[in-house]
Amino acid sequence: MKQLFLTRVFVTVVCALSIATLFYVFIVPMPSMYTSRDGIPHFTPNVIDPITGDTIRIKRLVQHYKGE
């Protein structure tokens, strides 16, 4: 009976810590969660190519200007 109680307490503590950690990560995000390694903000919309009029990903545009 005591082992069952200790197991339930352990599982409850682990679940509470996991949920608290997830809330902390989403409420107080790290600076690296705002931008990519190239300094591009996440969820940036595509840009319009002035020559063709097509949309291209901003990541590809940055790679072009960086020479990669």
Domain ranges of the chain: 1-32, 35-68
For the entire predicted model, the pTM comes to 0.49
Distance (Å) of CA 26 to CA 6, 22, 31, 34: 31, 6, 12, 11
Query: pLDDT of 8-58, one tens digit each?
Result: 999 999 999 999 999 998 888 777 778 888 888 888 889 898 888 899 888
Alpha carbons 57 and 40: distance in angstroms, whole number: 11
